[in-house]
A and B are shown apart, each in its own frame.
Chain A
Amino acid sequence: GNSVTQMEGPVTLSEEAFLTINCTYTATGYPSLFWYVQYPGEGLQLLLKATKADDKGSNKGFEATYRKETTSFHLEKGSVQVSDSAVYFCALSDQTGANNLFFGTGTRLTVIP
């Protein structure tokens, strides 16, 4: 079946620190992988995605590389800002039929000045 295991939080970092949030997955077939972000008081937003092995998704300074050999899609950012404080969800879609998303449990990131 399909599942996503995500690094548990919460994570607290100082501004300009390096961020890694780990995500591994189990899937049938060839999934697409996503990171969604939920800012305080807002809905889920797509942050970045990768649709095949070795693809790198990037947006707003965040990056994640689709690693088929390790079934991972870790989220990284070199220098976090206070405005990055949010809950981050790793997700996959098996790209068949409904294309519905399978989410991890989410990681809450707090960046302090």
Chain B
Amino acid sequence: GAGVSQTPSNKVTEKGKYVELRCDPISGHTALYWYRQSLGQGPEFLIYFQGTGAADDSGLPNDRFFAVRPEGSVSTLKIQRTERGDSAVYLCASSLVSGPSSYNEQFFGPGTRLTVL
């Protein structure tokens, strides 16, 4: 079956602009995660959804970042007033369930490379 997909694969924008990044999780996966990977670093957690609700958004760096998952499937990460420091690869992952379980393996998408000029 299809894996996690993310669009666009690359996004170049100008400082101050608004961007949306989309994630299509594996069908039937209830948990969805967003991570950000800066150059030379490991991914850092941003936000986690269980179903439609953001169960943990403690990793969002500031209020310019927001994410939604209105129907419990596709999620959109929204960044307002982009800054050069937002340039990174944004990764999405999904898992069948969350929490301590044999079914909580996270499957990652290929990422969206965001460049803010």
Contact = CB atoms under 8 A, between A and B. Distances in A.
Contacts of A46: 105-107
B100 interface: yes
Interface residues of A, number: 25
Given A95-B99, A105-B40, A105-B42, A100 B108 contact: no
Interface in B47-95: 48, 55-56, 59, 91, 93, 95
Given A103-B44, A104-B42, A105-B41, A98 B55 contact: yes
Contacts of B41: 105-106
Size bracket of the B interface:
20 to 34
A99 B44 contact: no
A100 B45 contact: yes
B4 to A, nearest CB: 8
A89 interface: yes
Interface string A88-113: 01010101111111111110000000
Contacts of A100: 33, 45, 48, 56, 59
A98 B108 CA distance: 16
Contact of B108 (A6, A45, A104, A106): A45
B111 A43 contact: yes
A111 B104 CA distance: 32
Contacts of A96: 99-100
A42 interface: yes
B98 interface: yes
29 contacts: A4-B42, A6-B42, A36-B108, A43-B4, A43-B108, A43-B109, A44-B91, A44-B93, A46-B105, A46-B106, A49-B105, A89-B42, A89-B43, A95-B99, A96-B100, A97-B55, A98-B33, A98-B45, A98-B55, A99-B31, A99-B48, A99-B95, A99-B98, A99-B100, A100-B33, A100-B45, A101-B35, A101-B45, A103-B42
